Amino acid sequence: MPVITEHHTEYAPTRPRPSHKGRWRLYAVGILFALAMAGVIARLFVLQVVKGEEYAELAQKQYESKAPLQADRGTILDRNGTLLATNIPALSFAVDPNHIEEPEILAEAFAESFGGDVALWRKKIAAENTSFVWIKRKVVGEAINRMKEIDDAGLITISEPLRRFEYGSYGAQVVGCVNLDNDGLSGVELFYNTSLRGLDGYMVMQRDALGRRRPDIDLPLVDPQHGENLQLTIDIIIQSIVEDELARGIKSADATTGTALALDPRTGEILAMASLPSFDPNTPGAAEQSNFHPRGITNTYEPGSTIKGIIAAAALEEGLISPDELIDGEGGEYHLTDDYVIRDDHPLGLVSFADAFRWSSNIIFAKVAGRLDRSTFYKYVRDFGFGVSTGIDLPGEVRGEVKKPEEFSEGTQEFMAYGYQIAVTPLQLAVAYAAIANGGVIVRPHILKGKITTNGGLLEETESQGVRRVISEETAATICRMLIDVVENGTGRIAQTTSIPVAGKTGTAQILHEGSYGNQRYNASFIGFFPADDPEVVLLVLLSEPKNGYYGGRVAAPIFSSIAKRVINVTMVNREPELLQVIDETEDSNPVESVEAIIVPDMRGLDNDAAIRMALSCRLKTSMQGMGKRVLAQHPAPGEPINRGEVIYLNFGDSARMHVVPDVRGMTTRRALAVLNEYRLQPSIVGTTGGVIGEQRPLPGTRVSRNEHIRLQCQ
């Protein structure tokens, strides 16, 4: 039987074949990964290469920031170096709503310091989507001390300069004002804003982990370029005299507005320019916008008979008239045409041209003007500066209105001869009369005397500029004599002064209202110069719509006289201080050799800088005592004689410790208020606020408590 043997075959294990579905998944993942890597690389390329600088700058901004370094605005001084506009340190407050820790406490502090309702402050500091909210700009005084007590991470304190105008409203329309960012808004502050403003700098600061900014000496720093200091032609003493007397005159005449200006006829330097009502540049937001403008250059008017000085000069220069020629005044009524009648307030018959000028005859001047042909008449009117800008360095000057020869109608020249159908600015008329005063040359008026260095040296001086000769010296001298006669014997007699001769001319003109002239509205004016034999000052006074009289010789001439007397007797314009005989107080009282001495100026109420500059302008030395902010007393006293180069002792005191009433008698109202403010006393004023203090109660030296009321009687 066969033997069957089992045979076992052993099979090797085989690897399963991958499915096609799993393979494609792998491919997809790989492709996606590759695409992602490519995207990352591309993004990195964009970030690092294409936009590398842009993103680096953004990153830098996250930890670095620029802090502005504000340039100091240049100071403004008057012609004698008296400080008119300067800067004082102030603090501004803002908040970062995102970091405020105690909003209720902060809101209450703002309400207490700055006024207003707590709820409104709470709402303001809760502003969203911002990291900076202004609270109060440029704060001075007690509010600063209250705010310094607040410790809140959200409160931001910034040091900023505050523009300070030392004489307030005096000269405000000329000096001008600035906004919160110290940019000029009007006057010199606007016209010379670029020079005064300077250029701000900056420093780069780093932010730490808490967001606080810290300076780093390795980061860029650009120092500010401070503004230039300007010296004006304005004399603040003359300016204050002009404004005080103009205010009194407006009140006395019950006028709507008033304008006055004074200039040096030899140089064109403006010594004073004022129009009332005005404003306080320290609080410009409280003033009417119209009061910012110096009406002496921004407003026009029909000049009335003051234009006759120009018409007379033209006729004399052309040889068409002589002072002695007889002309018929027609008994005060002259029918120019069937439709036009010219009348005189002072009826004249056959009189000389000089007499006609003395009594301001409209009829005779209309006849004389008719002797000039149209082109010649127009030439003189234009050459004297009417209808064109004077070029003064102040903003807002207008040109006025003068008809061209082809626009003349019947009677145009005759009416222009006594101040109608022509519109002029007060400055244009003053410049025209300056030409008569200086011998026949039109000078360009200007406000800037020069740019000065920080130590008071003159850096760049404005040169006086003669524009053109309009009449000969002989004609100018003839007109001067006729103008003197007007003041001595004619319509301008009230403008006389007792000390020196004055030349001038009155002007009265009806105001055109709603297309017609009426008997209710007038402009009354007086223009003249003094001393008449060697003119130093041309002065114009204009009142609009006076109700207590309207003739220029009645309401404007008295103001002119008051200003002239004070300028002559108090300031000695453009002259060296008077040489006084200083007597040696020995037993025999024999006079010793004369030495040069001056009258001690009144420095009481001035701050440190202003007092130093006033002393330097008088060539006096100063010795200062005390830690206060203003001069409270001085020795020698104001008005006493002192030799040049001697020392004047200024006591600034320490007002925080003083409990006695200071002596403010003889000070101007503004100075007195400044001193009493230092003593924390409350003044009440009786009388004209523009005057000087005559009496005070309690008397000087009386011991009082803080906030005591002091009664001041103005003279």
Average pLDDT for the chain: 83
Encoded tokens for 704: 């009082």
Other CB atoms within 10 Å distance of the CB of residue 574:
14
- Please give the pLDDT value at position 585: 31
Numbered ranges of CATH 3.90.1310.10 in the chain: 67-214
* pLDDT tens by residue, 647-663: 888 887 654 445 678 88
CA–CA dist 560, 261 (Å, integer): 10
Other CB atoms within 10 Å distance of the CB of residue 477:
14
Residue 93 to residues 90, 211, 213, 326, Cα–Cα distance (Å): 10, 18, 17, 77
Asked if residue 349 has pLDDT above 60, the reply is yes
| Backbone φ, ψ for residue 47 (5° rounding) | -65, -45
Architecture of the domain defined by 597-714: 2-Layer Sandwich (3.30)
**CATH fold label, 67-214:** Penicillin-binding protein 2a (Domain 2) (3.90.1310)
Residue 109 to residues 31, 133, 137, 139, 385, Cα–Cα distance (Å): 65, 16, 16, 14, 59
Higher pLDDT, 144 or 558: 558
Instruction: Let me know: does 508 contact 308? Beta carbons within 8 Å.
Output: no
pLDDT category, 597, cuts 50, 70, 90? Answer: low
Q: Which residues of 196-235 are buried (b: 16+ CB within 10 A; e: fewer)?
A: bbbeebbbbbeeeeeeeeeeeeeeeeeeeebbbbbbbbbb
* pLDDT tens by residue, 685-695: 776 555 678 78
- Say which range, 176-190, 411-425, 519-533, 631-645, has the weakest mean pLDDT: 631-645
Highest mean pLDDT among 62-71, 226-235, 572-581: 226-235
Percent of the chain scoring above 70 in pLDDT? 82
Name the amino acid, one letter, at 253: A
Higher pLDDT, 694 or 465: 465
Average pLDDT over residues 157-183: 90
Asked if residue 371 has pLDDT above 60, the reply is yes
Comparing CA positions, the residue from 394, 408, 475 lying closest to residue 188 is 394
pLDDT category, 553, cuts 50, 70, 90? Answer: very high
- Please give the pLDDT value at position 619: 67
CA–CA dist 648, 645 (Å, integer): 9
Which class for 294: exposed (0-12), middle (13-18), buried (19 or more C-beta within 10 A)? buried
Numbered ranges of CATH 3.30.10.20 in the chain: 597-714
Q: 567: Cβ–Cβ under 8 A, 6 or more apart, which residues?
A: 238, 241, 262, 537, 573
- Please give the pLDDT value at position 577: 35
| Backbone φ, ψ for residue 455 (5° rounding) | -95, 10
Helix axes 308-317, 426-438, angle to 10 degrees: 40
